[in-house]
Amino acid sequence: SDTYSSVAELEQLYFKEQQVGQRLESLLDLIMKQTTAIDQYVKLTFVYLTELREIRSAKLDSIGVISNPINAFHMMRRLTIVWQEVKTTLETHVSVTDIVQDVLNITKNFPNDEDLSGAAFSLVQLQGAYRLNVSQLASGTVQISDSISFPSVKGLNARDCLFIGKHAFNNFTIRPLIGFLLLRKLRVPKTINQQAIVKLIHFCLLQFEWYHDDVLEKKGPIGDKWRTNLEPFERRAKSLRKARRSLEQQQQIQRMRDITHNPLDTGYRLATNKSTEWEELEVFFRLCREEKSLVCTSQYLSTQPALIHDQLICTVEVERIFPFLLKPTGLKSRLKCRQISHTHSFFILRPLKLEEHSLVPYIAVFHDFMSDAETEIFKSLAVERLERSAHGSKRSGQGGVTSDKRTSKQSWVEDGSHHVVDKISKRISDSVGLNSQPSNVGSEHYQVANYGIGGRYTPHTDYGVLSKSRGETSEFDLFRGDRILTFMTYLDDVEAGGATVFTHVGVAIKPKKGMSVFWWNLMSDSTGDTLTRHGGCPVLHGSKWSKSLHNS
Ligand SMILES: O=C(O)CCC(=O)C(=O)O
Ligand SMILES: [Fe+2]
C-alpha cells in the first residue's frame, strides 16, 4: 500500500508491467500463430471433408466408388497431395492429441507420388485405349457408348487436367495430352495462368514435331516398333530432307504407299505374315474396344506405339497381317455350345456348360464353373498377400520384371490351403482331364490376380516360362516342363473393359463371375503355339479378379 508515494517503488512496478507486457506479447504471438494454424487446418480439412462427404452422399459401396477411374484418381490425389498438407499442419502446429496420433498411425503407409502418377497415367492410357471423349472425362463421366456411361462423384478441375496432361506428355502419349490441354484452353479458370497453358500446348506440339521429324530422318518411316507419317512436319525442311533420304528409305515409303493402296496384294501378304509388337498392340486394343467395322479411317501414322489407339495405322495393313479380321463368317458357325457330362460322373447331375470360341487353337469357356461363394473364398485367400505381378523379359531371362506391360497384383494360393481350393482342383481335373493338383508336378499353384485402375496385361504367351539357358532353371521346373494348359476363372464381373483377347485369332472374352476360360498353349509336338498369344484389356470400370492355373 501507499506505493504511489515512492518513486522507487513505482519504478519497480514500471518494470514489472513491462515484463507482463512482453509475456503477453509472446503469448499473443503464440496464440496468433496457433490461430493461423487452426485456421489453415480448418480450411484444409474442410475441403478434404467436403470431398469425403460428397462421396458418402453418392450412396455407393466402396467398390462402387473406387472402380471408377476418375474417383480412384481423386482418392490418390487426396491421399498424397492433400493429405501431405493436412499432415503438415497437424504435426507442426496443432497440439498432438490422441486423435491426431491415431490418424498419424493409420496413414503411415499411405500412397506416394509414384502412385499418384500411376493413377494419372492410367487415365491417359484408358482414354487412349478406349478412345474416351476427353471433355466428358474432364466433366467426370466415363462415357463408353451412347447408352453406357459411368459418372464419377466429382469431375476433374483445371489443375487435375493439367497434371494429367503433363503425365501424358512425359509418356509421349501426345494425343490425349493435347486433348486434355486444349480442353483447358477452352475453359481455363482465372486461377490458372492462361498464357502458360497456351505456351505448354505450343511446346508439346513443337516437341512432337521435332521428335517425329527426327525419327523420320534418322530411322525412316517404318520399323519394328514405329510408323511415322510420310511427310515431315517442318515444311521448310521438307525439300532439304527429301534430298537427304536414302534410296532404302524411299523404297520403304513406296512399299508403304503400295500396301495402303492395294489391300489385295497377296504376294506381300505372304511375305510378311509375322506381326511386329506394334501391329499386334493395334489389334489388341481394337479387340478390347470390340470394334466391329474395320474401316480404314486414317492414313496418318505415328512415331510411337503409345499412339496406336488414335487410328494411326491403316486398317488394310493390319488386315494383311491378321487375316482373321477378314475371316469368312463360315468359320464361326463351326463353333458350338454344348453341355458336357461324360468326363466325370459328377457332371451327370450338373453338366458343364461349354462354349467354344476357337477351334485352332482350342479356346473355350465353361459357364458357371464356380459358385459365387467359391469365388469369394479365393479372393479372401489372396487379398492379404497381393504383390505386384511380374512378367517374363528377354533381358532378364526367366521372368521377374515389372513394367506397364502387366499392371496387376497377385498372390499364389496353394492346394490344401482351404477345402474349397482342393474341391476346385478336382473339378478342373475332372473337366479337362489333366492333373491339376498343385501338390505334385502336374501344375503350378493358383495365381490369383487383381487389376487396378486401367490394369492390363499386353499380349504374350503363357508358355516359354522355362528359361532357354539350363543353368537358370531349377531341376524341378525342368522336370515339370512348360505350361500345356491355362485354365483361368474370373472371380468377379467387370462392368467395362478387362476382356481377355487373343490377338491372332480375334477372340475377345468378357469376364463373368464364376466363368472359366481355358486354352492349350502347346502343340502336339510340345512346341509353343504362337496363335495362343493373348492379353488382358485395360480395366475401364470395375475391379477385375482372376485365378489361373497352369498345367504342365
Ligand atoms: O487377365 C487376363 O485376362 C489375362 C491374364 C493372363 O494372360 C495371364 O495371367 O497370363
Ligand atoms: Fe497369359
Peptide bond into 361 cis (omega under 30): yes
What the block records as the C-alpha cell of 382 is 489372396
For ligand 1, atom 4: residue with the closest CA: 536
Q: Give the pTM.
A: 0.78
Helix (H, G, I), strand (E, B) or coil at 299: coil
Question: Within this chain, do residues 281 and 142 fall inside the same structural domain, yes or no?
Answer: no
Q: Indicate whether this complex's ipTM tops 0.95.
A: yes
What the block records as the C-alpha cell of 215 is 525419327
Closest ligand 1 atom to residue 509 Cα is 3
Q: How far apart are CA 289 and CA 480, in angstroms?
A: 37
DSSP code for 232: -
Within-domain flag for 537:
yes
pLDDT at residue 276 greater than cutoff 80: no
CB 230 within 8 A of CB 250: no
Q: How far apart are CA 260 and CA 262, in angstroms?
A: 6
Query: Which range among 52-56, 208-212, 320-324, 325-329 shows the weakest confidence by mean pLDDT?
Result: 325-329
Question: Within this chain, do residues 231 and 340 fall inside the same structural domain, yes or no?
Answer: no
Q: DSSP string covering 80-148, please?
A: IIIHHHHHHHHHHTS---HHHHHHHHHTTT---HHHHHHHHHHHHHHHHHTT--HHHHHTTEEE-SSS-
pLDDT at residue 153 greater than cutoff 90: yes
Q: How far apart are CA 212 and CA 198, in angstroms?
A: 21
User: For the chain, what is the largest distance between any 2 Cα atoms, rounded to a whole number of angstroms?
Assistant: 122
DSSP code for 536: E
Question: Within this chain, do residues 443 and 525 fall inside the same structural domain, yes or no?
Answer: yes
Backbone angles phi, psi at 29, to 5 degrees: -55, -50
Q: How far is the CA of 48 from the centre of ligand 1 (A)?
A: 37
CA-angle at 327, arms to 324 and 330, nearest 5°: 140
Question: Within this chain, do residues 340 and 321 fall inside the same structural domain, yes or no?
Answer: no
Does the beta carbon of 500 sit less than 6 angstroms from any atom of ligand 1? yes
Question: Which residues are found with C-beta within 5 Å of the ion, ligand 2?
Answer: 462
Which of 275, 298, 326 is the last residue before a domain boundary?
A: 326
184 vs 160: which has the higher pLDDT:
160
98 vs 544: which has the higher pLDDT:
544
Q: How far is the CA of 536 from the centre of ligand 1 (A)?
A: 5
DSSP code for 227: B
Determine how many CB atoms are found less than 10 A away from the CB of residue 528.
16
Within-domain flag for 185:
no
CB 116 within 8 A of CB 81: yes
Torsion (CA) 122, 128, 134, 138 in degrees, nearest 10: 0
Q: DSSP string covering 70-81, please?
A: HHHHHHHHIIII
Question: Within this chain, do residues 531 and 439 fall inside the same structural domain, yes or no?
Answer: yes
323 vs 309: which has the higher pLDDT:
323
Closest ligand to C-alpha of residue 549 is: 1
CA atoms within 13 A on the CB side of 197: 24
Average pLDDT, whole number, for the chain?
A: 76
Once rounded to an integer, what is the mean pLDDT over residues 400-426? 85
Q: How far is the CA of 513 from the centre of ligand 2 (A)?
A: 18
DSSP code for 401: E
Backbone angles phi, psi at 339, to 5 degrees: -95, 140
Does the beta carbon of 548 sit less than 6 angstroms from any atom of ligand 1? yes
Question: Within this chain, do residues 341 and 297 fall inside the same structural domain, yes or no?
Answer: no
Q: How far is the CA of 536 from the centre of ligand 2 (A)?
A: 8
Question: Within this chain, do residues 397 and 260 fall inside the same structural domain, yes or no?
Answer: no
Once rounded to an integer, what is the mean pLDDT over residues 508-527? 90
Within-domain flag for 158:
no
Q: How far is the CA of 385 from the centre of ligand 2 (A)?
A: 21
For ligand 1, atom 10: residue with the closest CA: 462
pLDDT at residue 262 greater than cutoff 50: no
- Residue 356 lies in domain: 330-551
Question: Within this chain, do residues 20 and 131 fall inside the same structural domain, yes or no?
Answer: yes
What is the reported pLDDT for 317? 45
Determine how many CB atoms are found less than 10 A away from the CB of residue 292.
6
Among 534, 540, 543, which residue has the most ligand 1 atoms within 8 Å of its CB, making it the best to mutate?
534
Question: Within this chain, do residues 15 and 139 fall inside the same structural domain, yes or no?
Answer: yes
Any idea how long the chain is? 552
Question: Within this chain, do residues 317 and 334 fall inside the same structural domain, yes or no?
Answer: no
CB 407 within 8 A of CB 454: yes
Does the beta carbon of 536 sit less than 6 angstroms from any atom of ligand 1? yes
Q: How far is the CA of 107 from the centre of ligand 1 (A)?
A: 33
> Cell 490441354 maps to which residue?
181
Confidence label for 78 from pLDDT (cuts 50, 70 and 90):
very high
Closest ligand to C-alpha of residue 544 is: 1
What is the reported pLDDT for 302? 32
272 vs 43: which has the higher pLDDT:
43
Beta bridge partners of 496: 541
For ligand 1, atom 9: residue with the closest CA: 548
Does the beta carbon of 547 sit less than 6 angstroms from any atom of ligand 1? no
Within-domain flag for 180:
no
Confidence label for 18 from pLDDT (cuts 50, 70 and 90):
very high
**C-alpha of 268 from chain center:** 35
Which of 326, 356, 373 is the last residue before a domain boundary?
A: 326
Within-domain flag for 204:
no
Core vs surface per residue 93-120: b (16+ CB within 10 A) or e: eeeeeeeeeeeeeeeeeebeeeebbbbb
Within-domain flag for 195:
no
DSSP code for 326: G
For ligand 1, atom 2: residue with the closest CA: 536
> Cell 494419372 maps to which residue?
120
Does the beta carbon of 74 sit less than 6 angstroms from any atom of ligand 1? no
What the block records as the C-alpha cell of 213 is 521429324
Number of domains in the chain: 3
Does the beta carbon of 534 sit less than 6 angstroms from any atom of ligand 1? yes
Q: How far is the CA of 530 from the centre of ligand 2 (A)?
A: 12
Which of 326, 344, 376 is the last residue before a domain boundary?
A: 326
Q: How far apart are CA 130 and CA 492, in angstroms?
A: 21
What is the reported pLDDT for 19? 93
124 vs 246: which has the higher pLDDT:
124
Confidence label for 552 from pLDDT (cuts 50, 70 and 90):
low
186 Cβ contact partners less than 8 Å away, ≥ 6 residues apart: none
Query: Which range among 185-194, 303-312, 322-331, 379-388 shows the weakest confidence by mean pLDDT?
Result: 303-312
Q: How far is the CA of 461 from the centre of ligand 2 (A)?
A: 6
What CATH number is associated with residue 490?
A: 2.60.120.620
Closest ligand 1 atom to residue 486 Cα is 10
Q: How far apart are CA 132 and CA 173, in angstroms?
A: 14
Question: Within this chain, do residues 268 and 140 fall inside the same structural domain, yes or no?
Answer: no
Question: Within this chain, do residues 385 and 531 fall inside the same structural domain, yes or no?
Answer: yes
What is the reported pLDDT for 226? 60
Beta bridge partners of 367: 353
534 Cβ contact partners less than 8 Å away, ≥ 6 residues apart: 459, 460, 461, 462, 500, 501, 502, 503, 519
Within-domain flag for 112:
yes
Which residue, among 529, 538, 527, 534, has the nearest Cα to 548 in the 3D structure? 534
Core vs surface per residue 382-415: b (16+ CB within 10 A) or e: beeeeeebeebeeeeebeeeeeebbbbbbbebeb
Within-domain flag for 187:
no
Among 410, 457, 462, 503, which residue has the most ligand 1 atoms within 8 Å of its CB, making it the best to mutate?
457
Confidence label for 252 from pLDDT (cuts 50, 70 and 90):
low
What is the reported pLDDT for 430? 85
Once rounded to an integer, what is the mean pLDDT over residues 202-228? 68
Closest ligand 1 atom to residue 460 Cα is 7
Confidence label for 345 from pLDDT (cuts 50, 70 and 90):
confident
Once rounded to an integer, what is the mean pLDDT over residues 157-171? 80
222 vs 111: which has the higher pLDDT:
111
For ligand 1, atom 7: residue with the closest CA: 535
Q: How far apart are CA 392 and CA 472, in angstroms?
A: 13
Confidence label for 272 from pLDDT (cuts 50, 70 and 90):
very low
pLDDT at residue 463 greater than cutoff 90: no
